[in-house]
Amino acid sequence: MDTAALTATAEALVAPGKGILAADESSGTIKKRFDSIGVESTEDNRRAYRQMLFTTPGAADHISGVILFDETLRQSADDGTPFSKLLADQGVIPGIKVDTGAKPLAGSEGETVTEGLDGLRERLAEYRELGARFAKWRATYTITDDLPSNYCYEVNAHALARYAALCQEAGIVPIVEPEVLMDGTHTIERATNVTAHALEALYRALFDQRVYLPGTLLKPNMCLSGYSATTQASDDQVAAATLKVFGYCVPAAVPGIVFLSGGQTDEQATARLNRMNQMGPHPWQLSFSYGRALQAPALKAWGGKPENLGAAQAAYAKRARLNGLARSGDYTPEMEAA
């Protein structure tokens, strides 16, 4: 294992002022996104949409890496340049989603375990040949009065650690994503407790399976009130609660935490990341790995029409720039109207 190379890639992904674009939507998810703008989810439309994002002028100033779907990693731009090379030529690191999705957890109704370990060693070797330098695996945890169970915490932590070890063997930086889903009426205190349990199980498994932590990144949820809760925590409360749990549970050897946006609005995801960075310094870089919160305005502006390319790229560039500013606590809500 080339630990120096793994560390260098992980640190480059959380370089100051930069974060990660998650463009790894599954076929089902990208269809829902396209349905919302009345565009058919064909392979060529998906390629055209992602090409629009990857060729946005100035985006590389704020985007360090892009997580791709298997189909996208194999696609090329109009001029024949593979997307992985198109990104790398801009100094943007190509990554790849490698799990095959969350499936029902046998013996525990209402819970899931993420699959995809079978054949992963061989797939990782192929992905590296295709240009991928980091990967992502997502586990999900549902909050109810009784869930998650310890069983769910443990099996997902084990799978995340197995995936991470195989990635590092292949010279690929693993992003581990234990996502506590914020659907429900739970309090922010309950979300914080569940997030802590998921992280504790994860880092115990990573240690047991000999994963090199400086060559990894963590992609977690922020700690929020349930989306249907009567009382919603403020941005300051979200930032403080999230930092508290990560301070307890995430080793300082981890170079960076790249938050997912979940069901937050674009502005909330940016403002809360900004507030956490204002509360620093921290032992890790606090960055972003946003999908919808970076893409939603661009998707709407694009609408599947080539003549809207400029407006769509401007919308994406704006969100990339504002999240880049949030990396240093320099974002203000007034910038949204600029």
136-192 pLDDT tens trace = 999 999 999 999 999 999 999 999 999 999 999 999 999 999 999 999 999 999 999
Cα-Cα-Cα-Cα torsion 238, 199, 155, 8, nearest 10 degrees, comes to 110
For 98, residues 6+ apart whose C-beta sits below 8 A from its C-beta are 116, 120, 123, 124, 127, 135, 136, 137, 163, 167
- Inter-residue contact 127 to 172 (CB < 8 Å): yes
Catalytic annotation on 219? yes
pLDDT value of position 338 = 81
Residue of 219, 267, 307, 334 marked active site: 219
pLDDT value of position 189 = 97
Residue of 25, 111, 177, 179 marked active site: 177
> Domains plus CATH for the chain?
3-337 (3.20.20.70)
Query: What does the mean pLDDT of the chain come to?
Result: 97
> What would the two tokens of residue 36 be?
């919302």
Q: For residue range 179-200, list pLDDT tens digits in order.
A: 999 999 999 999 999 999 999 9
Q: For residue range 245-298, list pLDDT tens digits in order.
A: 999 999 999 999 999 999 899 999 999 999 999 999 999 999 999 999 999 999
pLDDT value of position 227 = 95
pLDDT value of position 142 = 98
pLDDT value of position 17 = 98
Q: Say yes or no to pLDDT of 29 above 90.
A: yes
Catalytic annotation on 177? yes
Q: Say yes or no to pLDDT of 22 above 90.
A: yes
